[in-house]
């Protein structure tokens, strides 16, 4: 879509569209650049959808059919996988939107606007809960071993319910204020901000509650986990360390650039002169297109880490595809990890 398609939005400053729509960040881009960015975005959405559905579909099937849901770790991983799938499925209409405009109607505009943020918010919360659970299982293994399994599952169910309710509540503004707008080139699905304060509030909730807080918890917990692993004689310790580092680095690379861009956009809304020039606005446009794609790759990262980094999933996948021979190192880790409650706890929480 070119600049002509944005005339309605330009004439009404209360309309702002997110990165999955056509934000007023996009206005400074020339028509050719906007069309190219839309095509590239739709292409990457397609790749993300294929990889995420394949990986998360396998995880969901494996957890339900083979692992069961008796452990808290499996329950949390199940909810994280469902969250990834919710996010992935909502990318389908937004990918279509980047090519043909919004063709699904006003109700779908509201529902899919809320659903994509529901998947985003719940992913951050469940990833944080899994990190805290692994921290407790490794650093406070003795205390966890004394907890009744049934009570532990009850607390996990309660936590997951609270996460879904809180994520749904935080997604309500997108449901309530999203609407379709007719432009010269078709329909748009836009978010009608009632005020700049509402827009800033939503931006800062994303940055502080759903990025900085989870990131701080992840760094703090995994630092303690690594410290505990180094102090103890744990089989396959190097593998565990690399698995943890992959989780942290993947989170950082996916979400940090995106949240920096959102923060810079919030400064522009505050009418900071240095960020109000045409060059800055144009730079934010291209930064937004790039960083939101990297952020959306998060739904591919978790299944890849779990399947190819986790001993249990990888061993099953190799066996299922006909490669039944397991390396001596993995076989030794699998059997020796059951020798003590602490070792079992560590291997169970860092290698699933």
* Distance of alpha carbon 309 from alpha carbon 247, whole angstroms: 10
Sign of CA dihedral 341, 343, 345, 348: negative
Q: Which two tokens stand for residue 219?
A: 């760094």
Cα dist. 250→28, 174, 226, 255 in Å? 31, 27, 17, 9
Q: Which domain holds residue 271?
A: 3-350
pLDDT the model gives residue 39: 84
Domain count, the chain: 1
DSSP E strands in the chain: the ranges are: 15-16, 178-183, 186-192
CB crowding 91-106: b at 16 or more within 10 Å, else e? bebbbebbeebbebee
Cα gap 83→344, rounded to integer Å = 27
DSSP, collapsed to helix, strand or coil, labels residue 183 as strand
Secondary structure tally for the chain: helices H, strands E:
14, 3
16-68 pLDDT, tens digit per residue, is 434 433 344 444 445 556 677 788 889 999 999 999 999 999 999 888 887 76
125: left (phi over 0), alpha (psi -120 to 50) or beta: alpha
pLDDT at residue 147, rounded to an integer? 67
Q: Which residues contact 61 (CB under 8 A, 6 or more apart)?
A: none
**Whole-number Å distance between alpha carbons of 175 and 114:** 5
φ/ψ (deg, to 5) at 178: -80, 145
Tens digit of pLDDT at every position of the chain (352 positions) = 333 333 333 334 334 434 433 344 444 445 556 677 788 889 999 999 999 999 999 999 888 887 767 788 889 999 999 999 999 999 999 999 988 889 999 999 999 999 999 999 999 999 999 999 988 888 887 777 666 677 778 889 999 999 999 999 999 999 999 999 887 667 888 888 778 888 899 999 999 999 999 999 999 999 998 888 888 766 666 677 777 788 888 899 999 999 999 998 888 888 777 777 777 877 888 888 899 999 999 999 888 887 777 656 666 556 655 444 444 444 344 333 333 333 444 444 444 4
Is 185 strand, coil or helix? Answer: coil
Q: Which residues pair with 178 in a beta bridge?
A: 191
Helix (H, G, I), strand (E, B) or coil at 179: strand
Q: What is the pLDDT of residue 171?
A: 95
pTM here? Answer: 0.79
Q: What is the CATH number of the domain that holds 200?
A: 1.20.1070.10
């Amino acid at each position: 879509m070119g600049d002509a398609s944005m005339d309605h939005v330009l004439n009404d400053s209360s309309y702002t569209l997110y990165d999955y729509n056509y934000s007023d960040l996009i206005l400074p881009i020339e028509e050719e650049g906007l069309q190219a960015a839309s095509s590239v975005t739709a292409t990457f959405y397609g790749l993300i959808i294929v990889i995420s559905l394949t990986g998360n579909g396998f995880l969901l099937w494996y957890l339900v059919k083979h692992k069961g849901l008796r452990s808290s770790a499996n329950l949390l991983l199940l909810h994280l996988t469902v969250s990834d799938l919710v996010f992935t499925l909502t990318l389908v209409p937004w990918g279509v939107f980047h090519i043909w405009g919004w063709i699904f109607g006003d109700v779908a505009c509201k529902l899919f606007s809320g659903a994509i943020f529901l998947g985003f918010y719940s992913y951050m919360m469940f990833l944080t809960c899994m990190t805290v659970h692994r921290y407790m299982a490794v650093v406070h293994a003795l205390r966890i071993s004394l907890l009744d399994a049934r009570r532990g599952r009850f607390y996990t169910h309660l936590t997951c319910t609270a996460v879904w309710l809180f994520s749904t509540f935080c997604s309500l503004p997108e449901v309530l204020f999203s609407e379709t707008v007719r432009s010269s080139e078709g329909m748009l699905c836009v978010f009608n901000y009632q005020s700049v304060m509402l827009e800033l509030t939503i931006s800062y909730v994303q940055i502080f509650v759903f990025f900085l807080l989870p990131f701080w918890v992840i760094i703090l917990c995994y630092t303690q986990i690594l410290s505990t692993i180094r102090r103890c004689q744990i089989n396959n310790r190097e593998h565990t360390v690399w698995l943890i580092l992959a989780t942290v680095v993947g989170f950082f690379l996916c979400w940090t650039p995106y949240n920096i861009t959102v923060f810079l956009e919030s400064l522009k809304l505050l009418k900071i002169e240095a960020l109000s020039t045409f060059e800055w606005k144009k730079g934010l446009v291209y930064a937004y297109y790039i960083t939101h794609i990297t952020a959306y790759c998060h739904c591919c990262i978790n299944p890849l880490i779990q399947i190819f980094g986790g001993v249990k999933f990888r061993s099953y996948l190799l066996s299922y595809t006909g490669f039944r021979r397991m390396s001596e190192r993995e076989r030794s880790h699998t059997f020796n990890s059951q020798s003590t409650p602490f070792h079992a706890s560590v291997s169970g929480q860092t290698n699933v």
